[in-house]
């Protein structure tokens, strides 16, 4: 297991909070027209940071921009139906999702929900007083819920920049609980997505996690994945 140290590069936590909040809303539930329209109105694709200008960042912004450019649900509900179908086959069902969004499916040999890695995450949250609000019962290791916790954490770090315990919490959350499996989930989402919207979200999510590795000076735990 890699050693986590409470040192990070200077970052804009407010910007990061905004990015993970967007990803949380895009990944946690079926898409609604209001969300997609807001992303278009705010020019999320055009204003998304380039960071190190990695290929997945450029491709992600281009895919999302292409989708939002042609978005007009007021005149054609077909786009929203296609988007919902894409979300379902990727992350929800019916049947087994192509890119299961819960970490335990990747980390446990049995590939079950709420397995040992989920219990470890629950214990970690309990130790640090983290309460995760969910709309309906679901495992806490859903990738969208990780982004919700990071949203809260980055908001605190903006005003508690020197809070070493909070920095260590963020590093452990990323290194031990999210990064070991998230890239595989996002790679599957990219492979199976049928819309540029979720291709873009998968690429931008992956690029942002790569940026977090650099900013928080992390080497993800090397863990066997079972999917």
Q: What domains, with CATH codes, occur in the chain? A: 13-215 (1.10.3480.10)
Backbone angles phi, psi at 132, to 5 degrees: -105, 115
pLDDT score of 7: 66
pLDDT band of residue 89 (cuts 50, 70, 90) is very high
Q: Is the per-residue pLDDT at 4 higher than 60?
A: no
> Rounded to an integer, what distance in angstroms lies between the CA atom of residue 84 and that of residue 82?
5
Average pLDDT of the segment spanning 95-99: 94
Which tens digit of pLDDT belongs to each residue from 79-88?
A: 999 999 999 9
Which tens digit of pLDDT belongs to each residue from 158-213?
A: 999 889 999 999 999 999 999 999 999 999 999 999 999 999 999 999 999 999 99
Average pLDDT of the segment spanning 92-105: 94
Q: What distances in angstroms separate CA 125 from CA 146, 159, 169, 178, 211, one per listed residue?
A: 11, 21, 9, 13, 23
Backbone angles phi, psi at 165, to 5 degrees: -65, -40
Q: Report yes or no: 35 and 25 within 8 Å, Cβ to Cβ.
A: yes
Q: What is the mean pLDDT of the chain?
A: 93
pLDDT score of 87: 98
3-state secondary structure the chain: CCCCCCCCCCCCHHHHHHHHHHHHHHHHCCCCHHHHHHHHHCCHHHHCCCCCCCHHHHHHHHHHHHHHHCCCCCCCCHHHHHHHHHHHHHHHCCCCCCCCCECHHHHCCCCCCCCHHHHHHHHHHHHCCCCCCCCCCCCCCEHHHHHHHHHHHHHHHHHCCCCHHHHHHHHHHHHHHHHHHHHHHHHHHHHHCCCHHHHHHHHHHHHHHHHHHHHCCCCCCCCCCCC
Which tens digit of pLDDT belongs to each residue from 49-79?
A: 999 999 999 999 999 999 999 998 776 789 9
pLDDT band of residue 10 (cuts 50, 70, 90) is confident
pLDDT score of 33: 94
77: its two tokens:
């509900």
């Amino acid at each position: 297991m890699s050693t986590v140290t409470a040192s990070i590069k200077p970052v804009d936590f407010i910007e990061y909070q905004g990015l993970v909040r967007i990803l949380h809303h895009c990944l946690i539930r079926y898409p609604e027209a209001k969300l997609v329209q807001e992303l278009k109105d705010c020019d999320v694709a055009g204003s998304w940071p380039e960071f190190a200008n990695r290929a997945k960042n450029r491709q992600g912004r281009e895919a999302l921009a292409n989708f939002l450019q042609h978005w007009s649900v007021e005149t054609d509900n077909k786009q929203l139906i296609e988007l919902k179908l894409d979300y379902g086959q990727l992350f929800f069902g019916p049947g087994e999702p192509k890119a299961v969004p819960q970490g335990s499916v990747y980390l446990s040999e049995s590939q079950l929900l709420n397995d040992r890695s989920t219990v470890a995450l629950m214990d970690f949250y309990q130790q640090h007083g983290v309460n995760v609000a969910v709309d309906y019962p679901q495992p806490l290791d859903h990738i969208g819920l990780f982004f919700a916790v990071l949203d809260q954490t980055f908001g605190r770090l903006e005003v508690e920049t020197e809070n070493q315990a909070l920095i260590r919490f963020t590093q452990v959350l990323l290194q031990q609980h999210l990064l070991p499996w998230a890239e595989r989930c996002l790679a599957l989402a990219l492979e199976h997505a049928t819309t540029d919207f979720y291709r873009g979200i998968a690429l931008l999510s992956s690029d942002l996690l790569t940026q977090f590795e650099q900013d928080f000076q992390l080497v993800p735990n090397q863990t066997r994945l079972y999917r």
